[in-house]
Amino acid sequence: MARGVRRFTSARVVVWLVIGVALLSIATGLVTTATGPTGGGLFGGLIPRAVRQATSYTGTIVGFLLLVAAVGLRRGLRAAWYASAILLPVTAIHGLLQSTPYSLPLVVFSLLTLPALFLVRTRFQQPVELSAAQVATAAAVVGAQLYGTIGAYALRTNFADLNTWFDAFYFTLITASTVGYGDIHPTTTVARAFGMTVIVFGAGSFAAALGVLFAPILENSFASALGKSTNTNINLMEDHLLVLGYGHLLTESILDELDGGTEYVVVAEDSDLVEDLREAKKTVIHGDPSDEDVLQRVGIDRAKSVLVATEDDAADSLAVLTARQLNPDIRIVAAATERENVRKLRRAGADIVVSPALIGRMLVQAALGGEHVEELAAQLAGEPSNRTLDDF
Domain boundary assignment for the chain:
2-123, 132-225, 232-355
Residue 56 buriedness (CB in 10 A; 0-12 / 13-18 / 19+): buried
Judged against a pLDDT cut of 70, whether residue 44 lies above it is answered with no
pTM of the model: 0.64
- How many other C-beta atoms can be found within 10 angstroms of the C-beta atom of residue 227? 12
CATH number for the domain running over 232-355: 3.40.50.720
- List, for residues 202-256, the tens digit of each pLDDT value: 888 888 877 776 666 555 555 444 444 445 567 777 788 899 988 877 777 777 7
β 185-186/159-160 pair status: antiparallel
User: Cβ neighbours of residue 39 under 8 Å, at least 6 residues apart?
Assistant: 45
Judged against a pLDDT cut of 90, whether residue 336 lies above it is answered with no
The confidence score (pLDDT) of residue 101 equals: 83
**Residue ranges of E strands in the chain:** 159-160, 185-186, 241-244, 264-268, 284-286, 305-308, 331-335, 352-354
216 and 130 Cβ atoms separated by less than 8 Å? no
Rounded-to-integer distance, Cα 263 and Cα 216, Å: 26
Fold entry, domain 132-225: Helix Hairpins (1.10.287)
Most confident of 144-148, 226-230, 310-314, 360-364: 144-148
Binned at pLDDT 50, 70 and 90, residue 9 comes out as: low
Residue among 353, 358, 311 nearest 334 (CA): 353
